[in-house]
Amino acid sequence: MSAAPVLQVQDLSVRFASAQQEVDCVSDFSLSVARGECVGVVGESGAGKSQAFLAIMGLLASGGRARGSARFESHELIGASHEVLDGIRGARIAMIFQNPMTSLTPHLRVGDQVAELFVKHRGLSWRAARARALETLERVQLPEPERRARQYPHELSGGMRQRVMIATALACDPVLVIADEPTTALDVTIQAQILALLAELKSAQRLSLVLITHDLGVVAGLADRVAVMRQGRIVECGPVGTILRAPSHAYTQSLLKDALRAEGPDP
Amino acid sequence: MSEPLLLVQNLEVRYRVRHGAWGRRAWLRAVAGIDFAVHAREALGVVGESGCGKSTLARAILELVPHTAGRLVFGGRDIDALTRAERQRLRADLQIIFQNPLASLDPRMHIEEIIAEPLRVHRGDLMPRERRQAVLDLLGELGLAQDLSWRYPHELSGGQCQRVAIARAMILHPKLLVCDEAVSALDASMQAQIIALLGAVKETHGVALLFISHNLQVVRELCDRVLVLYLGRMMELAPAQLLYARPLHPYTRALFEAIPIPDPEIQPARLAHTMPGEPPSALIPPSGCVFHTRCQHVVALCRRQIPAWEEVGDGRHVACHRWREI
């Protein structure tokens, strides 16, 4: 993986300022993601994992300011205009969020939410876009895709909604997918299915994947490299085998201890 | 063994729901055929995926939802046969903590009022000073600073709120504490703290726990026995050590296999063998064994006949036609 990285983040910092106080929630964040690589970003809630990537996507809440650099292909994302970002987001970089119920539009049929991307980014007619949407829903193994495509988000189970969410992410064949706690809201058997799907898509399409999670077990199945975050900083970063087998930072060790409690019976 | 603290016999809870395009009325059996006992000072875990009836079971035991069949016997007395006054007294012995600590605490009451409220209801004989002392003692025991007593829930962290919920539940020294996903909303490190705290509370107060969770590892740390539910039916009940060493029911095994393990040499292979499908609708449960639609060991018998709740020795029960062979 010596080729130029797909995403190169350098010295990113995110600061939220209100009249009363300023909070640095990400500091000195540097990370690169290569083509076809999955980088796991791990840490507890409040570690700044999500804010770092929301900043990169230009999605910070008001009052938030990002500094530093995030180069994606030939574009600088930090400080980019809405026009530039709109051309990239959803098409070249896609995002999968934790809660598919709140990130899907409740009053649109799920098939149309996928089709919308083909209309917007590929200029297809709605008719052609719906056909492509159906193919995409098949690709993410949504059961009974033709019937489901005509349903609304509330009619689907959590696992199916997350498949739809992944379909919207994959619709325009992005280079990079940022998955923010994609399985946290799901039951454990459904979580395994969604992780298996992401693993399959990653290897079949040489997708670059950023996997944001608090669960080292989730990272172990998918990631090539892992960055561990604490209090807005990366405290440790390296190949998944090194980080999970021989973590050098005390914080990683404690996370690992929490995760090892998780193991089931010996096979 | 001595008489159980709580006996649940053939319990069923049905909800009247509307479904389909014309809002046809139908019965949804949230739980059915539930049969187990909780002994004094014991921690019984109840696990299963969303929609398996865990919370309905908790609510039915506290009579927050009425059961439609079966019996609940608490301390040797049938709950249905109690008078109003007796039920009121029973409520002091049966307490619950919920998943979302912030939502289950009244935002307009300060912490001391919240914890003291059960005393005001059930212990009218106490003087305000005594109530206050009881609250302060419990705050100390649960690792909360006494100066928190004048704060409001929104000023506290999630972990502190959950400690307050535990304090409110424990102030009357109940015999059974039902924990409905009590640590699910918390971070891993905070989970560990609250679990340790519940373990300590169980020891010092001699309270029995009915610990409901979707998370098998959380249950493992706290519980003596574990009941596995699927689609409102019991799949397996076993002492925790035995269950975690060797699960018998294929559903229990599938639950274990789905847990992600932080080992990059094993985990990718585990992902390649995930159990397909989703739990079916409880409105139209599958015939025979409710798990047959997702079970990899399914045979014709499983589709036809509901497996018996079989006692298999060592205090284990399992509902599977094929547990011996698989």
* Least Cα separation, residue A123 to chain B (angstroms): 35
Per the listing, tokens 């919240």 go with B114
Q: What is the pLDDT of residues A139-197, one digit of tens each?
A: 999 999 999 999 999 989 888 999 999 999 999 999 999 999 999 888 899 999 999 99
Rounded CA gap, B197 and A35, in Å?
Answer: 46
Encode pLDDT of A43-92 as tens digits.
988 899 999 999 999 999 888 999 999 999 999 999 999 999 999 998 99
CB contact under 8 A, A265 and B246: yes
Question: In angstroms, rounded to a whole number, what is the distance separating the alpha carbons of residues A84 and B230?
Answer: 49
**Axis crossing angle, helix A250-260 with helix B188-205, rounded to the nearest 10:** 60
Minimal CA separation from B276 to chain A, in Å? 7
Per the CB < 8 Å rule, is A217 touching B259? yes
pLDDT of res. B176: 97
* Complex ipTM over 0.90: no
Residue range B79-130, pLDDT digits in tens: 999 999 999 999 999 999 998 878 889 999 999 999 999 999 999 999 999 9
Cβ–Cβ gap A195/B255 under 8 Å: no
The DSSP secondary-structure symbol of B24 reads: E
Task: Answer whether B21 touches A (CB < 8 Å).
Answer: no
| Beta-carbon separation of A258 and B192 below 8 A | yes
Whole-structure pTM value: 0.89
Strand blocks (E) in B181-322:
208-213, 225-230, 233-239, 310-313, 316-318
